């Protein structure tokens, strides 16, 4: 998929009120493991109303990755667009999340976020 197609899918997830991940190749997504953002600085929108398709497409075009994710932080309602990595093992995902300064990583099998700071203790 090109950057605009990836951006359209991410924007559709946001509009539907969902978080999610897009694989740039268009191949099926992994069914287990963990997604960790932070391959580059996130694109952050202050609210759902501020989301702009052109900005998302520009971000994807400028930051090549195999996966891109969208996440809405329930603490402040900011919308994050991330270039993400896929990890098989939880330990590796949490270590990468901490090293990258991520707020959370995504547990694919259990369909939930794991807040990095809460798991450090």
* Cα dist from 112 to 26, 35, 105, whole Å: 23, 11, 9
For residue 80, pLDDT beyond 90: yes
Average of pLDDT values for 88-93?
96
Distance from C-alpha of 121 to C-alpha of 101, rounded to nearest angstrom:
16
Q: Is the pTM of this model over 0.85?
A: yes
Q: Indicate the helix (H) or strand (E) that contains 83.
A: strand 79-87
Q: Which helix (H) or strand (E) holds 8?
A: helix 3-15
Q: List pLDDT tens digits, range 26-40.
A: 999 999 999 999 999
Share of the chain above pLDDT 90, in %: 80
Average pLDDT of every residue of the chain: 93
């Amino acid at each position: 998929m090109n950057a605009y197609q990836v951006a359209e899918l991410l924007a559709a997830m946001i509009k539907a009120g969902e978080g999610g991940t897009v694989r740039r190749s268009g191949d099926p997504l992994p069914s287990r493991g963990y997604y960790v953002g932070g391959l580059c600085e996130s694109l952050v929108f202050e609210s759902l109303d501020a989301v702009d398709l052109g900005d998302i497409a520009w971000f994807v075009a400028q930051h090549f990755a195999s996966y891109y994710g969208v996440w809405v932080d329930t603490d402040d309602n900011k919308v994050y667009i991330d270039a993400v990595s896929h990890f098989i093992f939880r330990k590796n995902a949490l270590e990468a999340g901490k090293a990258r300064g991520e707020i959370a990583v995504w547990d694919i099998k259990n369909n939930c976020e794991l807040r990095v700071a809460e798991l450090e203790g």
